[in-house]
Structure 1
Amino acid sequence: MTSNSVARGYDTEENVPLAGYATVAATFVASLATFAVVVRRRGVSLPERVPPYDLLLLGAATYKTSRLLTKDKITAFLRAPFTRRQEDTTAGEVMDEPKGDGLRLAVGDLLSCPFCATAWTAGGLVATYAVAPRAARLVCAGFGAMTLADWLQYAWTWTQEKAEG
């Protein structure tokens, strides 16, 4: 059974790039495995636990980096080979839709979905935290500050709209 017939059997409405998804997932798993092997061979001592404060920083930074990657106008150059602009939305964000087929479509799906990109951005941030916690905290604090600033911008806009009626 070919991957196209499996995809048609999976979703009759569209051609789902299952082989592309498998390639993307395999790349993620291979990256994690490579990281684990390198860390072990170099004798890096991994943290025994992640304190709640660091988890909050990692979470806020993961949220922001996934949105920067998938929604920000400025990062459109990264998405352009795999997506096309569907519309401009609020707060400098855009809606892109995947284009192409196979692996290109699968990568487009990843780069247009902040929820999908979260695993990748979290993986990078957590890997950095594991080998260089101080540097990771600093980077995460920067992205966390951006997240807080976004929420304050929304709160200000909401307050302003309520005051104006």
Structure 2
Amino acid sequence: MGIITDVLSNKYKKLKNGLPSAENPYIFNGDFVDRGKRGLEVFLILLLCFIAIPGAVYLNRGNHEDIIMNQRYGFIREVQSKYKKNHEKLLKLIEGVYRYLPLGTIINNKVLVVHGGISDSTDLEMIRSLDRGKYASLLRPPLSDSSAPGSEVINKVEWKQKL
């Protein structure tokens, strides 16, 4: 299984093992957008591959799959410049996809792949039980009147420095 991190900076150079297929699956481990002029195209291609080749493409949420990060690092400007009339609708759809991207992928019930890493206190059951739909951004409170549990867990999984 190929694991590609920070797609925004790799430009698919890491597909040296061939294209994704059932026999050659890949995990794209976050940071799909926010660098370069083609972040939207990269994100859409990854989504299409995820849909078209079930079991061959896995997408993990990284810290750049966050609408506030997109404001800071340019992805929103990219979408606005490409879709002047419909950028707000498209960004809402993208934000909806972000909310439901998994925080990690487990390989053969042995290896947990997450974008940022884990801490000693990471609880896999807590990650599994999170209502990801409430977390459009980790830089603002969850989307509910009450505080949703687990934001500190998501923060560690998305932001912890890689070892």
Normalising by structure 2, what TM-score? 0.29
Q: Which of 1 and 2 has higher RCO (CA within 8 Å, sep 6+)?
A: 1
More strand by share: 2
Q: Name whichever structure is richer in helix by fraction.
A: 1
